[in-house]
Amino acid sequence: MRLQVPGYQLLSQASNLNYSFSGTGVNVSAALARLGHTGYLISRLPDNPIGDAAEAHLRKLGILPNFLTRGGKYLGMYFLENGFGARASRVTYSNRQESSFNTAPEQTYDYKVIAQQIDVVHFCGITLAMNDLVRQHMKALARAVKEAGGTVVFDCNYRPAHWGDGGYAKAKPHYVEMLQLADIVMMNEKDAMLILGMDTNKTERSEQLQDLIPQVAAAYDISVIAGTHRSINGDNTHSLRGYVYKDKAFCYSELLTFAVYDRIGAGDAYTCGIMHGEFQGFSPQQTVAFAAASGMLAHTIVGDTPMSSERDILRAMVDAVGDVER
């Protein structure tokens, strides 16, 4: 649950909040639904009006509620204060460890039944950071999908705050396990160096990427690895270049530079672009261009969750900036 101060006030100035329900899982499932796929969320919500509200909002985003269960006491929340220019946006988490999702007991999800009804499952490194209970669910489900012949997508998404001190060492075995199960992986050279502890003698970011990603793909037998390099410019714009590594070759998108309205969730839009390209059989070049445009558009959308249709993204690949559509 995202509780956002409207406009640019601080929590100590304002007196109302916009709320929505998001998270990587929500964003990916909803964005893929928008692109024409059937999206589910596998999660646990409290059996109270907050849980009802979450389900209603997820449905609105196009997510089917079939794999949502109810139980536990509350929903993890975060507060968002929008930054402006030199003042960065600020996220304050409320406690998450006791949330319905993070306390879901062992029998909550029927991995086999789920695995039979889906083609692809997506996991995120943020979830991996939660606790052992959650990690067990993740790994068991990944294995079940794999066994059922499905595709496993894993987004490394390492968040230092969640792993705490000595986090990389704690995280490594779990990441290794997930990478072994994954077919499509979202990461870049930093993940390889910091989490997996890999070395390179290159000093430049793009060279490090070219050196390490093929090693990761080989080591863990991963079909597709993809990710982005982002830079934040002085004038309130961001620049983004996406890459895909597949069949031992790299493909890059153009460097896109654009104004930013809401940065949160834009990485998930990139991921969905990659997934959509793979599912539709786009060439790697098409896929990475589509994913980068998908990510760019997500920066212009209110809320965490990408809302662009395939048609919207294809048009954004042609016209960088357009006049009113009428």
211 exposure class (CB count in 10 Å sphere: 0-12, 13-18, 19+): middle
Which member of 6, 36, 105, 197 binds a copy of itself (CB under 8 A)? 6
Q: Where are the alpha helices (DSSP H) in 61-166?
A: 111-117, 125-128, 132-147, 160-163
State yes or no: residue 324 binds a copy of itself (CB under 8 A).
yes
CB of 33 or CB of 219, closer to a copy of itself: 33
State yes or no: residue 88 binds a copy of itself (CB under 8 A).
yes
State yes or no: residue 288 binds a copy of itself (CB under 8 A).
no
Question: Could you identify the residue written with the tokens 């060492």?
Answer: 169
Q: Where are the alpha helices (DSSP H) in 221-283?
A: 266-280
Maximum distance among all alpha carbons in the chain? 55
Tell me how far, at minimum, the Cβ of 23 lies from a copy of itself, in Å. Answer: 13
Which member of 70, 87, 170, 205 binds a copy of itself (CB under 8 A)? 87
- DSSP annotation of 95 reads P
Interacting positions 159-188 with a copy of itself (CB under 8 A): 159, 161
What is the C-alpha to C-alpha distance for residues 82 and 282, in angstroms, rounded to an integer? 36
Selected range binding a copy of itself among 37-45, 215-223, 240-248, 302-310, rule: CB under 8 A: 302-310
Q: What Rg do the C-alpha atoms of the chain give, in angstroms? A: 19
Closest CA to 57 of 79, 84, 75, 80: 75
State yes or no: residue 263 binds a copy of itself (CB under 8 A).
yes
Which member of 39, 81, 118, 289 binds a copy of itself (CB under 8 A)? 81
Closest CA to 226 of 167, 295, 162, 146: 295
Dihedral sign (CA 293, 297, 303, 306): negative
CB of 108 or CB of 237, closer to a copy of itself: 237
Q: How far is CA 109 from CA 73, 97, 102, 127, 145, in A?
A: 17, 19, 13, 16, 13
Which member of 28, 45, 61, 244 binds a copy of itself (CB under 8 A)? 61
CB of 204 or CB of 325, closer to a copy of itself: 325
Interacting positions 104-163 with a copy of itself (CB under 8 A): 159, 161
Q: How far is CA 103 from CA 26, 46, 269, 291, in A?
A: 19, 11, 28, 34
What is the C-alpha to C-alpha distance for residues 286 and 290, in angstroms, rounded to an integer? 6
CB of 15 or CB of 107, closer to a copy of itself: 15
Selected range binding a copy of itself among 105-113, 138-146, 254-262, 270-278, rule: CB under 8 A: 254-262
Tell me how far, at minimum, the Cβ of 125 lies from a copy of itself, in Å. Answer: 14
What is the C-alpha to C-alpha distance for residues 218 and 120, in angstroms, rounded to an integer? 22
How many residues bind a copy of itself, per CB under 8 A?
Answer: 84
Which member of 36, 70, 91, 207 binds a copy of itself (CB under 8 A)? 91
Which member of 70, 90, 170, 205 binds a copy of itself (CB under 8 A)? 90
State yes or no: residue 73 binds a copy of itself (CB under 8 A).
yes
What is the C-alpha to C-alpha distance for residues 32 and 302, in angstroms, rounded to an integer? 17
State yes or no: residue 257 binds a copy of itself (CB under 8 A).
yes
Selected range binding a copy of itself among 2-10, 137-145, 167-175, 281-289, rule: CB under 8 A: 2-10
State yes or no: residue 79 binds a copy of itself (CB under 8 A).
yes
State yes or no: residue 199 binds a copy of itself (CB under 8 A).
no
